[in-house]
Structures are given as structure tokens and as C-alpha cells.
Amino acid sequence: MATQLPTTDIRIGADLIRRRKGGTPIVCLTAYTYPIARLLDPYVDLLLVGDSVAMVLHGHETTLGASLEMMIAHGQAVMRGSAKACVVVDMPAGTYEDSAAQAVVSARRIVGESGCQAVKLEGGVDMAAQIAAIVAADIPVMGHIGLQPQSVEKDGGYKIKGRTDENVAALIADALAVEKAGAFSLVIEGTIETVAADITRRIAIPTIGIGASGECDGQILVIDDMVGLTVDRVPKFVKQYADLRSVIAHAAERYASEVRDRDFPGPTHVFSRTNGGDES
């Protein structure tokens, strides 16, 4: 029998997230699949269908492996599994940078085909026109400054931001530009703590930290990092709340052993004329 989604009278929208500035911290996690969205939805305010899916689920070395079709498909899955959280879908590299017109077309497709509440794109001053155009098209936008995974090849690796006065000034300018362009919130990633805290105080929209500051208006982690499923290096800023790698590996080990020893399937896992022919 199919299980039912949790019911709620209202789904959290971008406007409600915006109004959370300075209030109870906003709880955010990434989600890429229907079952994970269902599990997380009761506990979070926002689910991000991040382009990190290219690395986490598809095995790419960077987020540049994400495509528009990939993001839409995972956005659809998360929307099917979510009833309450604000669902935001990342705009993948190559789908918005060239022009405001390109950005609007891509954003409309993401929202139209997935049903999500908002899109997210990386960049500050250089992407202000794209953000403003998408917002003008009545699509809420979440910004993203600091360490920008889509620019990792251009930056020569994953480098923490805010270490020099020049970089700090650029980060502040980016945050102000994103706010002015009309974004409803701003992710700050991989940024020196005091700089992220200062940006949070300077702008009127909520900041969502990841490797940033506890003073941000909310926090986000990649779900696979948080539950201990990451197979490669885990970033310093991650706190693991579970060790599912060990749980899954142990379960697979037990299953393999029982199959090889012919202990599985047992009498309760097969059908006979006496125990009935259905699956109940």
C-alpha cells in the first residue's frame, strides 16, 4: 500500500523565508531524491536541490557536470516528496551567465517543469542583471557568494574567501548587489567567519551559511555530508550527525553472507500455497 505524504496547510514560500531575517535560524539541507525529501521535509524550512547532485549522486568531480535536465528531474522528485519546505533548485553552470534573457528562459523552465518555489544562482556584482531579470519575471531568486563551486576551475580550486581586504570589499559589494537586485536570501559559502557575520549584519535579506558564520540567519549542509554518506573528503565545516556509510556497508555485508550461506531468503520471504499468494 502506498504511504501518504505528510499534510500541511501551507508550503513555505520565498516571502516567508525573507521575513525570517534576524529571527529563529532558518534550517536548510540539500535533497535530490523523493525518499530523502520525505524524510527531511518535516524538520527543515528549505530544501535545496543543489547542483552538488552532479558530484554526490552522479560521480562528477565538480558541480559543472550538472545539466538543466538533471536539475529539473531532481527538482521534480524533491517536490513529489515535499509538502512543507520551500524548495529551491540550483541553476547549473552555463544556463544563466551569458545574458539576462538566457537566465530568465532557464529559470522559467526550472520552475515551470519542477514546480519549485525559487531558483538559486552563483555570483554577485557580475550576476546582478540576471538576478533582477529573473525577479522581474516573478521568479524568486536565492543568491550565492563567497566560495562558488561553479567557478572552482577558474579559481584554481576550493579557496576560502575573505582573507584579504580586497576580497572582503568584493564580497560586501557582491552581497549588496544581490540584495539590490531583488534576491530573497543569500548563501554565503566558504568565507572567513567575521566577514560572513559582517555581511549578515549589513544586508536586509537572510543569509544562509555553509562554512561561514553561526551569526548567519540560517545554515545549510549537503545531506550526504551530514549523515556520513560522502565517499570522498568531507569539508572541514561539516558536522556529521550520523554514520550511514557504516550502517549500509554492514547491512550489505550481512546480506551477502546470508545469500552465500543460503540463509536468505528464508521461509518468511517466499510464497507457498499455504502462506498465501499476496504480499501482505
**What is the set of active-site residues?**
189
Using the Cα atoms of residue 185, residue 187, residue 192 and residue 193 in order, give the sign of their dihedral. positive
Return d(Cα 171, Cα 165) in angstroms, integer: 10
What grid cell was written down for 10? 501551507
Specify the DSSP class assigned to residue 164.
S
Q: Amino acid identity of 139? A: I
Return d(Cα 262, Cα 97) in angstroms, integer: 57
Cβ-contact 183, 122 below 8 angstroms = no
Give the 3-state secondary structure of 45-110. CEEEECCCHHHHCCCCCCHHHCCHHHHHHHHHHHHHHCCCCEEEEECCCCCCCCCHHHHHHHHHHH
β-strand pairing of 26-30 with 46-49: parallel
CA-only gyration radius of the chain, Å:
21
Exposed e or buried b per residue across 143-175, where buried means at least 16 C-beta atoms within 10 angstroms of its C-beta: bbbbbbbbebeeeeeeebbbeeeebbebbbebb
Cβ-contact 208, 26 below 8 angstroms = yes
